Structure 1
Amino acid sequence: MTGDSLGESSRSITHPHHEQHSSSVDSFVDNGKGKGKSKDNENGETHPMVDFTAGVIAGAAGLIVGQPFDVVKVRYQTPQYAGKYSSTFSALGAIVKEEKVKGLFKGVTSPMAGIAFINGIVFTSYSLFMKQQIPPESLHEPSLYQIFLAGAGSGVVAATLTCPIELIKIREQSAPPHVNTSTIGVLKHVIRTDGIRGLFRGFQATAIRDLAYGPYFFTYEGMIRLFKYMKTPPLPENTRKHEGHTLIDEAEMELSSGLTWPELMTAGGIAGVVAWMATFPIDVFKTRIQSAPWTTTSDLPAPSSSSKLNMTLRKPSLWKVANTAIKEEGWRVMFAGLGPTLIR
């Protein structure tokens, strides 16, 4: 993903498709308000909510481990830090020297608080988009193309939440070393200066970047199927009704598929690299849009300026930011921060 987060927080999602047995849902409901064990639980299977909780905890752990590299990535992408760091690890050392260890974890609060909600949005929207493509009576696995579309769609939907979360995170991470920030403080400042709409600055860029859920899910599932095919004899595809089309049973399905942990981790690693490479330039421009303050009305050149000009000055567009960055800094700016991102 994810990412931040496909994005940072938004990329802390479990891997692609796999469906949930309808009997699990039915028995869960029959037990009344979710209490008691379901029939699937009695057969030794993990309840979907346990899977979801485990995924959130795993995502939070991954977020904490990768946060220092995310801070470095944002610094590389932010113009005011241009040329300050010579390498990823020199940047880590410089941040610790200037801002102590806590500087490596700037901005971690907002994605940590939102990770469960983002997981829920991705799980639900992915299931919805898959149901639109596959009839309930289908006995075959979805095609890679269908997985791609469902993943891309879920990323765009999730952007409604990842956009404000990452805006707050980026504002904290790009603040000067001597400025103490907090998630609540940044939130109040954005609303006070730009209104609620200020929280959604960079939404277009966020939605385009999170289309990367498509190539992520596509690549992951493609690698899984390739590894199965390479076995001797090849492992069979999963054949069962695709009634749920959710991501929630994926871990159990994969661990019982005959593939090894190294194969699963390799598939996930390759998928992550492909997803980031697919939309990384957009992530760079998104960071620039969200880290730079809007021009306020009082900063405009003259009262006689046209309203169209005022709006252009107050709201930097993705195209304008991208065009300016490439013109002034060259094409390499589109991959600023790629190193620490791939390490993370």
Structure 2
Amino acid sequence: MEKMSGNSGYKEYVAGLMAGIAIVITGHPFDTVKVKLQKHNTEARGIKYKNGLHCAARILKTEGVKGLYRGATSSFIGMAFESSLVFGIYSQTKILLQGGPDGGKPQPQAIVPSAAFGGAIISFILCPSELVKCRMQVQGADSVLPSSSRYGGPLECALKTVKCEGITGIFRGGFTTLLRESFGNAVFFSTYEYVRYHLHLQRKGASSESSQLIDIGVGIMSGGLGGIACWSAVLPLDVAKTIIQTTPEKNHTRNPFRVLKSIYARSGLRGCYMGLGPTIVRAFPANAAAIVTWELSAKLLGIKRDFN
């Protein structure tokens, strides 16, 4: 397994920031489709999309490529800080719990709490940025929102939210975000670590010339599969979060389990997993890009990772 130099500290956070940028560039269009499906296809009335492809085609027809990147500004800011913190906190906490750098098989007793802790911390940053992102995403050309409720940009959205709902309004869905990020990151990093460990066992004996190419391949597989495992586990919580953050009613319940119970009664299990298609399609490339970018950035920054 990898060994990291003791002075890697802040560099892990810089590498994580680069990973976040890679996630947004790769995955935001899929995320826009997912949010629209979750918002509109779980409502009792309003527009319905047949599937993710139909939703994407409609966005492109009515708004162009720009529509797929609606809300990307807040997403770039939120994801950059989120990834910087989650990768940095995860790496440093795992070393602390293990009593030193990795030296062999992944240790779940260090991986799971480190990932969950990182997820809990970043949820406080991610919640407001995702609230703005989601509200921007659902107000496209197909939205039934009145013009008075539309936002000209992310900053206007944030300011209007605070003005109308108070400072707590910008943190609407915070508990659900915390649950999603804690559990989701535990699943993601556990899958990532185990897949990477076993793939690197298979690569022993490979020539040095092909080593870097193999590292990229391992990063793609471990990151991609980690992303699929994560989102398969937490998508219902994400559906609940989207509903909580985008509903116009101020007194709407913020309990994710009540929201999911209501969705289940109306749309069944399919409703609780609304947006699964674009989420899974997005999960592999976006998280593969994140891991490859993280590991390459770490290497460029001089963080030593040598495998036994």
Q: Could you state the TM-score of these two structures normalised by the residue count of structure 1?
A: 0.69
Shift of 1:316: 3.2
**Greater relative contact order, per chain length (Cα 8 Å cut-off, separation 6+):** 2
The separation in 2 between residues aligned to 1:77 and 1:138, in whole angstroms, is 40
1:293 is aligned to 2:248: yes
The separation in 1 between residues aligned to 2:187 and 2:2, in whole angstroms, is 17
Structure 1 alignment gaps of length 5 or more: 1-16, 26-47, 235-254, 296-312
Tell me the alpha carbon deviations over residues 278-303 of structure 1, each in whole angstroms, 9 at most, x when there is no partner: 111111111111110233xxxxxxxx
Shift of 1:315: 4.2
Partner of 1:212: 184
Equivalent residue for 2:111, pick from 147, 150, 158: 147
The separation in 1 between residues aligned to 2:125 and 2:74, in whole angstroms, is 11
The separation in 1 between residues aligned to 2:79 and 2:102, in whole angstroms, is 32
1:77 is aligned to 2:38: yes
SS across alignment from 2:98: coil
Aligned residues: 269
1:282 is aligned to 2:254: no
The separation in 2 between residues aligned to 1:188 and 1:24, in whole angstroms, is 38
Which structure: larger Rg?
Answer: 1
**Equivalent residue letter for 1:190:** T
Partner of 2:166: 195
**Equivalent residue letter for 1:120:** S
From the superposition, tell whether residues 104 and 233 of structure 1 become closer, same or farther in structure 2 (CA, over 3 Å).
Answer: closer
Equivalent residue for 1:60, pick from 4, 17, 21: 21
Shift of 1:102: 1.6
Partner of 1:39: none
Shift of 1:99: 2.1
**Equivalent residue letter for 2:191:** T
CA contact (8 A) 1:145 1:218 kept: no
Tell me the alpha carbon deviations over residues 44-86 of structure 1, each in whole angstroms, 9 at most, x when there is no partner: xxxx64x654553453243123221111100110035876222
**Equivalent residue letter for 2:158:** L
CA contact (8 A) 2:13 2:85 kept: no
Partner of 2:153: 182
Task: Report the identity percentage.
Answer: 30
The separation in 1 between residues aligned to 2:273 and 2:79, in whole angstroms, is 26
From the superposition, tell whether residues 139 and 102 of structure 1 become closer, same or farther in structure 2 (CA, over 3 Å).
Answer: closer
The separation in 2 between residues aligned to 1:84 and 1:170, in whole angstroms, is 17
1:341 is aligned to 2:279: yes
Structure 2 alignment gaps of length 5 or more: 144-149, 283-308
Q: Could you state the TM-score of these two structures normalised by the residue count of structure 2?
A: 0.77
From the superposition, tell whether residues 256 and 151 of structure 1 become closer, same or farther in structure 2 (CA, over 3 Å).
Answer: farther
CA RMSD of aligned residues (A): 3.0
Shift of 1:326: 0.7
The separation in 1 between residues aligned to 2:200 and 2:227, in whole angstroms, is 20
The structure in which a higher percent of residues are helix is 2
Equivalent residue for 2:193, pick from 174, 198, 221: 221
Partner of 1:261: 216
